[in-house]
Structure 1
């Protein structure tokens, strides 16, 4: 219990793969949509349509970069959840050892 909050170490440990899985799904979705982009094909849009296609391609690239950043942030969050779990677990073990040692001295 820290500052009025209790940490369930098992629940915290379970969140890391969940967050990492969602981040990986975001990356897979971006890869799938990126593979489908072919806006630079003149045969698809014609010569006049290239002006519109260029704007759409820029917009899609910007959106793809943003969503990819979300996936990267998800992986970073998963790393932080794993680190938090390890820190809390280590703290709990150290606290138990300190209390046990104190109990033996008393």
Structure 2
């Protein structure tokens, strides 16, 4: 399934539209963070609570996504996702 098969282009555009909130950051788009990781564009989401930790790190230009889910609130899923991304970049998989 391509990204545009679910909801079509208007939905995709809306989900990636950044919004200025009442703070200095302007990279949030409906819960997604649009940023860069070591020079690569990323669309990310993270979350956690007592007993869970989660991270989605998507590289849209390369068509690669990393998802880490943990049953530990202290699981630091974002660190594990970043470590995986570092390996993919260092090995030349993400160029």
Larger radius of gyration: 1
Give TM-score, length-normalised by structure 2. Answer: 0.27
Larger fraction in helix = 1
Higher RCO (C-alpha 8 Å, min separation 6): 1
